[in-house]
Amino acid sequence: MAKICEICGKKPLVGHNVSHAHNITKRRFNPNIQRVKALYKGSVKKIMVCTSCIKSGNIIKAS
């Protein structure tokens, strides 16, 4: 499943691991995506949302 936030569109970024000897290898910075039951477009659905959207109140959680 794709690690993309359905609210803000946040997705993985690419960077490097850098060792003390300055050896460089590729790595991915994944967003913290959670599956949440929320009110989305007028109905209750399970959506993939990043934690920053949950904290900021961009979604309304269904109880």
Place of tokens 């599956």: 35
CA nearest 52: which of 8, 12, 2? 8
Q: What per-residue confidence (pLDDT) applies to 27?
A: 97
- What does the pLDDT look like over 8-50, one tens digit per residue? 999 999 999 999 999 999 999 999 999 999 998 889 999 999 9
Q: What per-residue confidence (pLDDT) applies to 2?
A: 84
Q: What per-residue confidence (pLDDT) applies to 32?
A: 96
In sequence order, the β-bridge partners of residue 20 are none
Whether 6 is covered by a domain: the verdict is: no
Whether 4 is covered by a domain: the verdict is: no
- For residue 1, pLDDT over 80 is answered with no
Q: In which domain, by residue range, is 42 found?
A: 13-61
Give the domain CATH number at 28: 2.30.170
Structural domains of the chain, count: 1
Whether 34 is covered by a domain: the verdict is: yes
Q: What per-residue confidence (pLDDT) applies to 9?
A: 95
